[in-house]
Structure 1
Amino acid sequence: MLLTATPHDGSRESFASLIEMLDPTRVPDPEKLHRDDIEDLVIRRFRTSPEVMEALRSAIPPRELNSRTFPLSEKEEAAYATIAELKLDLDADAPENRVIDLFRTTLAKAIFSSPAACLETVKGRIGRIERGTARGSEADRQKLAELADLLASIEPTDFCKYQDFLRLLKDIKWIGKNPRDRLVVFSERIRTLEWLEERLTADLGLSPEAIGRVDGGSVEADVTTQKVLEDFGQEKSALRVLLASDMASEGLNLHFQSHRLIHFDLPWSLLRFQQRNGRIDRYGQDRTPQIYYFVGESRHPKVRDMWVLEKLVEKDEAAQEGVGDPAVFLGAGDAEGEEEIVARAVSNGRGAEAFAAEMDERAAHVAKDKTVDDEFDALFGDYRGVDISSAGTSTTAPDAEMPPRLFPDTFAYTEAMLQRLTEPNEDVFETAPDVDRDARLISLSIPDDMMSDGGLGYARTGEVDDRYMPVEAVGQGNTIELSDRADVINTAIAQAKTEEQSWPRVQYLWDGHPLLDWFGDRAGTFFPEMAAPLCSLRGRLAEREVAVILHGAIPNELGAPVVDCWAAVTLRNGRVAGVEPIGEFVARTGLSRSIPNTGKPDEQLATEALAPAVDAFQSHLVTLRKQRQADIDRSLNTTLDRLACLEARFRAQLELKFADAPDDGSRLTIQQRRQKTRRENRSTEIDAMFEDFAAWHKSRRRMADDPNPFVAIKAVFVG
């Protein structure tokens, strides 16, 4: 299984590579994915999917999206107007249909961020023109120098977006005192983040420790970034404002102490907008996520027509309300492709309404024309998964009965095991574990055989072996606390946020906790090797009735069990009376309740019952194997037929790709020989791939035809 919460980058090839990791036979041509080939391999849900919305409704408050509008100052108007009307010789050399390469578009993107970012961009280009390392005429240099003077004249008081940002902080009464009210501020430009750090320190009276920056722009970024992010999540940290570039827009949890996110500039991509918002608007957020962005109001018509980014926000909201994947509005599927489309709208100056209509038209086209072979749908469709259970393709036993629980829950089992392991002859714990039934809390010291010897892994001698749990998860004195109560765990997680630790002091006790694996290892020492417990069940079984508990499995050639069975074979007067499912036996005898093991059972009677019980159970397993084999054979035939169809498509694609490659090896040019060799090599690869997969499918289904499969005697009960 391959699980991710990150959208793929929209590339056909990269998506195909993910599919090939699961099953390479499904991708004859990475550039042409067919949805019906991969639908049973993919499940894709959006936050707007009904089942996801239902799950999140009680866990995450609905977010608030707030637009802040402000008029541009006179100096800003002059700079914006200059950029909107700017005609540069260097833009004439830009690649056709690549508006993102137009320097005027680059300037627009920079000024939308901040005058400081735009000034840095302008000065950088002037310097490269003067050094002869970048395109640009002398006329371009002069125009850019005039623009630089305009930008340099914009003081902080003239920078109206920043002034509105300060007003926003006053409106929400943010003064930086509350450790659980931290701000995440995003900008695409590192220079803008640097400028904000300088100004906020001065204008808000914040200490340098109160502002952290994550932008990847420094040599020591890898070292400092992790520290800043950890501090931002710790309640005791002095950090109050996180200034972040889009390097922090993906995969980070910033919601522990923050529920306010500010887009100081809007990204030119819906995907980036989603990724940013997801840093605080995510599972585990306990307050209403509040998201803010700014929209400038210009008096210049060309500037107004360039300002289309707020329409991206509207489409993201539409997606949240039920469209599904916002990618349908721009149709690119990756951030760079989306930026290209937005840049074209900015450069063309079509205006916000025309841009919105264009996005709506694209989304409607996708919804109307989507088919199973549609390229966009194959990449970005809402995959619900395919239920193949009724098709007989499963190779695991459909009715395999799991052993019933003899304890009401994991807590009770853990308590019983700890009680057994504290017996003097076990010599496991120096201090007896503390079990609080009312609080559902268990505290114990790590036993010696869970400690590291320093030979493997990262744990040092004297620390817990990191194969069991991370060293950071263990408390002082090598103790751990366990609970099966979710509220206790959530409280411990919240407490960890206020301390300088990344793990809560209480661990969740469930069947997958590594302590239970350790219990299993220790239980194997309770009885001598090749021995099983002999117990009395007087009053639950008839006089001299014997029940032998057995487990047997018949594996496939890969060692995975195909038939897996637990049962109780009962014998009366030395003869087999029946093979009873283990669940029925436990229910009939009340074995899951507390039953005294009184009196000494007849050991000879029990011993004499073993051979006939094993014979009967082996015959039962063989019968189960034959029943499963009939289903498996039908499944295998279906699978091999599908592989044959896929192989034919691989062959067709091979012929199409190398249609011009000659078959005759005589008198060939060097290029023709290379092409012929590539075709032959690819043909050999296809042969090997399908032969391997056919063999693998057969080995998954083929079971040993053994009339006497191995069985294990787990316990014997005598009435």
Structure 2
Amino acid sequence: MIENNFVPGARIGNRGEDFLITDVIENYDGSKIISAEGLSELVKGMSFKFDSRIDTDIEVLDPVKTRIVPDEDYAYRRTKLFLETQLRNNTTYSKKITIAHKAAFDISHYQFDPTNKAFRLPRPRMLMADGVGLGKTIEVGIFLAEMIKRGKGKRIMVLALKSILGQFQQEIWNRFAIPLVSLDSQGIAQIKSELPANKNPFEYYDKTIISIDTLKNNAKFRHYIEKSRWDIIVIDEAHTVANSSSQRGSLAQFLATRCESLILTSATPHNGKKENFANLINMIEPTAIPRNGEYGKEDIEPYYMRRFKHHILDEKVRSNFQDREIIPIHAVLSQPEEDLLQIQQKIKFEALSTLNENTEEDMFGEGTRREKRDLLFSIGLFKAYMSSPNAALATVRNRIEKIKDAGAETNTAEDNLNLLGDLRDKIEKLIETGADSKYQAFKERLIQLGWNGRKNDDRIVVFAERIHTIKYIKENIQRDFKVNDEAIREFHGGLSDAEQQEYIEDFGKKDSDIKIFITSDAGSQGVNLHYYCNIMFNYDIPWSLITLEQRNGRIDRYGQTKTPYIYYLLGTSETEGLKTDLHIIENLTKKEEEVHKTLGDVGSVMNLYDSNAEEKRTEKAIAEQNEKFLEDEFDLDVLFGGESDVTDSKIEEDPIEEEYSLYKNDSDYYRDLIDQLKSEQLMQSNDATFVDDTYLEIKNTKELHRVLFDLPKTAKPGLNDIYRLSLDKDKVQKSIEEARKKKGEWSKFQMLYDLHPVMKYLMTKLEASVDKDVALAARISRLPEKSAWFIVHGQVANNIGQSVISDFFVIPVNFEGGLLKKPMPLKDFIAEYQIDKELATQHISEEILHQLEGLLPDVIDFANEMHMHQLQQVRQLEMERHIAVYEENLKHWTKTAKDQLQADLDEKGESNYWKGKLREREREIDTIISDTSQFYKDLKSLDQDPYLKVISVFYN
């Protein structure tokens, strides 16, 4: 057993079967825990872990003992295929995009930037914070694809809002062929029926997607994740976990320690407070920000990407956004509405007048003054009515019931039963007589649009804040337009995860019966509502620019094919005070549109970066009758001293690096691969068929069905049905669009590329067809006479088990012995001697094979001494230069952390409570220092012996 050669990529034999090492962890006593994928028939496609203390007979191929076998295939097809497959299955070390550009999306270089930037870090971790509608899901897919190509994406967990689990899962599969098993309520129920009760689903399934709320609320799942580790964790809409003291936040902080790579996505990554931003960055890199919280943009810029639409200059990208049209609909308040809101205004002004006379305290400051309670009640009543009469009626009725139950009537307006009763009666009469001006305006606009809720009518999204408003709109539309239940859908946070996903998917399908989708702001984040829909109504206006932008971004986003029409329903009045309040609400819509056309970041207007805080600011403006509050001078020094939080919009001028190949195109390679597997009877003749040069059909055989057990059920064809794979991006993207026409359907086509699980399975099958101790020989007349050119694959892993060097090179030797010339890159050898061109198969005698095998000891010595050891030294120096920067940062962070701890100790450390708190912080700091130091030490360690494998030999 050559224990030092247990490295990722090495092929081993154990218990009579063959395996490929995928990961290696060293125990305290020097023994190894080896993760491996099965290669031979009995174990193919399965994952295993071996402990070298128990499995003492694990054998790693000794390259000197390689058997050289002649390739007798026409044009040496087997040798070329085996070599090409090794190259394609090999991990890459490029800092650029090498595979994701082949996935099913329109290439936009800005979407490659987060991944390219992440590859500049010791650990690829990144906050993807591009603005609403720029395609963060695509950016995540690019990162996942590239990490899988680098051998660092086997185990993936995605956490997303429950409403978009299905949408995210489909997008990543349809475009990138990356399978995520959904652990929503239905998925969990299915798993319970398939797995033993004590089986950890996160160990059984390598790639999963789950709601963070499901994870935090399920004690058993929490137990499972404590026993699991992942290569990559993705947290979508990460602003929901930014509060480290919340349940979601503490869970996210824990998960950040359970993975090598972490991706956070959010269009609103902070609330204007540096601490909030720091919480997200600390999950990505704990030592990026000093413990005293004093940091600048330069400290965190390496760890996040943030751009808005106007930063993207590519005309092709801009063509995927349509210029939206904003249409305000002004509804003049009816007399009953004026009468009702005059009472509301009277309560407000009386409260304001008394507050102004009796106190200098801010009207929204601390205190329980009656006037303040009346002020807040009047504004709450105004906001409820601006949603709908039903929402206002529910507010008043609930208040009346609460006072009666508590027997707590007081002299405040909100506790005055006579006043509340009068308000209730007025609202009830208003509803009964149909005096709701806003609904009438809404109804008239639907009629003008020719909308009746029939089959061919436009599809419409309606946003409203209150559940009572959603139900009110639905009831009125059903009454006035005679619309059935199938044509109208309510959507809100009270629905189950399965219902939310079902409704979102249904609305995005062409054959959907839903003609009007009435949603609360639960439908404003991350959800795609732009398929087959370009009309949206803001039935009420949220008092937050951030929420308003999120709403509008549901139909005004990348990929919208029609002009988005966004309607605002706005009340108007000439009554003093009320007129100003309504103008303030309308000004929110004008400011959002102004920012959309210029800045791009609505959060920068109020510099609060939090929807709840923005609502409070709007409440204050209404209380103060400040119509110009959106034009005030806000503090621009909230985060970075007036500097924007936007990052550079371009990381690489040329972000894509094409890998070299022995084939002129992918089609030729895949065709040869299929033909070879058939000729070796590793596939039946009808298991795979090329319909044309770009389209491959592959039967889902029993073996394939078993090996690919963890594909999404909806995406997987039935037994003996077919996978449809195409090299034509347009065909696949059209298939994705076609799938949107019918409920429950996923794209019938996926991309034919190396990352598709079916192709990975076939490539592994080809690789396993050549015994682990065999190198194929080919005789080539165009080589120098009496020369042999050994193609060798060399790998070196660091102490984390990551393959840090993986290189294909050629050792040229004389038949009589001795080096012919210095080792050369495989790429140069192929180009110089045209190995990728047509080759003529020639007979190889046994005598020549023995002679070639006799050269192996010298070849391996030359490979080690003249290539791999030199490569190790160069890479070691290169890594040490990079790591030195991070180690210096760690030293600085350690000093500031200890200094801050001492300062806190001096200030607060007298009580036992604070002493305990500070001891806890000290342990946390020591853990970060220890883990980070060990990580850097293991990362840069290249003292392992190289693993060498002779792939093939070309000679003349």
What TM-score results when the alignment is normalised by the length of structure 1?
A: 0.86
Match of 2:535 among 260, 270, 277: 260
The more displaced of 611-620 and 186-195 is 611-620
The CA deviation string for residues 32-80 of structure 1, in whole angstroms up to 9 with x for no partner, is 54323222112122233235x7553121222222111221111112222
Distance verdict in 2 for CA 1:552–1:180, change over 3 Å: farther
Residue of 711, 716, 719 corresponding to 2:953? 716
After superposition, what is the alpha-carbon deviation per residue over 1:300-355, rounded to whole angstroms, capped at 9, x for unaligned? 0201111212222222222222313211111211111111001111222222xx22
The aligned counterpart of 1:150 is 426
Residue among 863, 870, 876 paired with 1:629: 876
2:405 equivalent in structure 1: 131
What is the alpha-carbon distance in structure 2 between the residues aligned to residue 592 and residue 344 of structure 1? 73
- Which of 486, 490, 499 is the equivalent residue of 1:224? 499
Shift of 1:296: 1.7
Change (3 A) 1:529 1:634: closer
Please list, as runs of the form range in 1=range in 2, the aligned pairs for 1:27-106 lying within 5 A after superposition: 27-29=289-291, 32-51=294-313, 54=315, 56-87=317-348, 96=365, 102-106=376-380
Equivalent residue letter for 1:465: F
Report the CA distance shift for 1:3/1:410 in structure 2 as closer, same or farther (over 3 A).
farther
- Please say which of residues 199-208 and 22-31 is displaced more in the overlay: 22-31
Q: Is the 8 A contact 1:126 1:141 kept in 2?
A: yes
1:411 aligns with 2:667: yes
Residue 86 of structure 1 aligns to a residue whose secondary structure is: helix
**1:611 aligned to which of 830, 846, 857:** 857
1:402, distance to aligned residue in structure 2 (A): 8.9
- 1:422–1:119 distance in 2 versus 1, CA, 3 Å: same
User: Which segment is superposed worse, 689-698 or 677-686?
Assistant: 677-686
Instruction: Determine the C-alpha separation between the residues in 1 that align with 2:746 and 2:887.
Output: 49
Seen in structure 2, the aligned counterparts of structure 1 residues 403 and 8 have a Cα distance that, compared at 3 Å, is: closer
Contact 2:700 2:717 in 1 (8 A): no
The separation in 2 between residues aligned to 1:504 and 1:444, in whole angstroms, is: 16
Q: Does structure 1 residue 550 correspond to structure 2 residue 806?
A: no
Cα deviation code 1:643-663 (max 9, x no counterpart): 11111111222123222356x
Partner letter of residue 486 of structure 2? E
How far apart are residue 418 of structure 1 and its match?
Answer: 1.4
Counterpart check, 1:194 vs 2:441: no
**Alignment partner for residue 929 of structure 2, among 690, 693, 714?**
690
Query: Which structure ranks higher in relative contact order (CA pairs < 8 Å, sequence separation ≥ 6)?
Result: 2
Tell me the matched-pair count: 667
Question: Alpha carbons of 1:685 and 1:497: their partners in 2 closer, same or farther (altered >3 Å)?
Answer: closer
Moved more, 511-520 or 88-97: 88-97
Q: Is the 8 A contact 1:255 1:281 kept in 2?
A: yes
Distance 2:912 2:650 in 1: 45
Q: Sort the Cα spacing of 1:110 and 1:481 in 2 relative to 1 into closer, same or farther, 3 A.
A: same
The separation in 2 between residues aligned to 1:251 and 1:186, in whole angstroms, is 15
1:481 to 679, 703, 724: 724
Q: Percent identity?
A: 26
Shift of 1:171: 2.6
CA separation of 1:410 and 1:124: change in aligned 2, threshold 3 A: same
CA drift at 1:222: 4.2
The answer for the alignment partner of 1:576 in structure 2 is 819
Q: What is the aligned partner in structure 1 of residue 734 from structure 2?
A: 491
Q: 1:134 to 1:196 in 2, by over 3 A?
A: farther
Give 2:327's aligned amino acid: N
Distance, in Å, in 2 between the alignment partners of 1:177 and 1:488 is 32
Look up the match of 2:940: 701
What's the CA shift string for 1:432-457, capped at 9, x where partnerless?
A: 4221225x21111123332238xxxx
Q: Which residue of 1 aligns with 2:509?
A: 234
1:434 to 689, 698, 703: 689
Q: Aligned to 1:206, which of 483, 487, 491?
A: 483
Contact 1:42 1:385 in 2 (8 A): no
Relative to structure 1, the CA distance from residue 85 to residue 596 in structure 2 (aligned partners, 3 Å threshold; closer, same or farther) is farther
What is the rounded CA distance, in whole Å, between the counterparts of 1:265 and 1:629 in structure 2? 61
- Partner in structure 2 of residue 215 of structure 1: 492
Local SS of the residue matching 1:105: helix
2:523 paired with 1:248: yes
Asked if structure 2 preserves the Cα contact closer than 8 Å seen for 1:259 and 1:288, the reply is: yes
What are the residue-to-residue correspondences of 1:283-298 with 2, within 5 Å?
283-298=558-573
Task: Report the CA distance shift for 1:703/1:104 in structure 2 as closer, same or farther (over 3 A).
Answer: same
Separation of aligned partners in 1, 2:474 and 2:335: 25
User: Relative to 1, partners in 2 of residues 1:604 and 1:138: Cα closer, same or farther, differing over 3 Å?
Assistant: closer
| Contact residue 79 and residue 147 of structure 1 kept, 8 A | yes
Q: Indicate conservation of the 8 Å contact 1:179/1:236, yes or no.
A: no
* 1:469-490 C-alpha deviation (Å, 9 max, x unpaired): 3221133543110012121112
- 1:631 & 1:507 partners in 2: Cα distance? 39
Give the residue type in structure 1 aligned to 2:477: L
The equivalent of 2:706 in structure 1 is 452
Aligned counterpart in structure 2 of residue 274 of structure 1, from 540, 546, 549: 549
SS in 2 for 1:185: strand
Residue 428 of structure 1 deviates from its aligned partner by 2.8
Amino acid at match of 1:236: D
Structure 1 residues 230 and 50, CA gap change in structure 2 (3 angstroms) = closer
Q: Distance in 2 between matches of 1:413 and 1:518?
A: 15
Aligned with residue 653 of structure 1, among 873, 877, 900 = 900
Query: Per the alignment, do residues 324 and 227 of structure 1 end up closer, same or farther by CA in structure 2, a change over 3 Å counting?
Result: closer
Q: Structure 2 counterpart of 1:408, which letter? A: K
- Look up the equivalent residue of 2:835 and give its one-letter code: L
Distance 1:244 1:680 in 2: 48
CA contact (8 A) 2:292 2:896 kept: no
1:181 aligns with 2:458: yes
Distance 1:617 1:263, change over 3 A: same
Give the aligned residue type for 1:72: L
Deviations 1:128-178 (A, max 9, x none): 222237674386322222222222222464212111112212332223335
Letter paired with 1:117: A
Looking at structure 1, the residues matched to 440 and 638 of structure 2 have their Cα atoms a distance apart, in angstroms, of 47
Distance 2:759 2:574 in 1: 70
1:513 lines up with 2:513 in the alignment = no
Report the more deviating stretch, 143-152 or 644-653: 143-152
Conserved 8 A contact 1:444-1:480: yes
Asked whether the 8 Å contact 1:186–1:243 carries over to 2, the reply is yes
Distance 2:385 2:690 in 1: 63
1:234, 1:445 → 2: CA distance?
28
Task: Spell out, residue by residue over 1:604-630, the C-alpha distance to the aligned partner (whole angstroms, 9 max, x if none).
Answer: 342233232222221211112222333
Task: Give TM-score scaled by structure 2 length.
Answer: 0.66
Amino acid of the residue matched to residue 64 of structure 1? E
Using the alignment, how far apart are the partners of 2:490 and 2:890 within structure 1?
53
- Are 2:788 and 2:953, in contact at CA under 8 Å, matched by a contact in 1? yes
The structure 1 residue matched to 2:616, chosen from 317, 334, 340, is: 340
Shift of 1:247: 1.1
Gaps of at least 5 residues in structure 1 are 390-400, 454-463, 663-670
1:436 partner letter: V
Residues 678, 73 of structure 1: CA spacing in aligned structure 2 closer, same or farther, 3 A cutoff?
closer
Query: How much does 1:370 deviate?
Result: 7.4
Give secondary structure in 2 for the equivalent of 1:251: coil
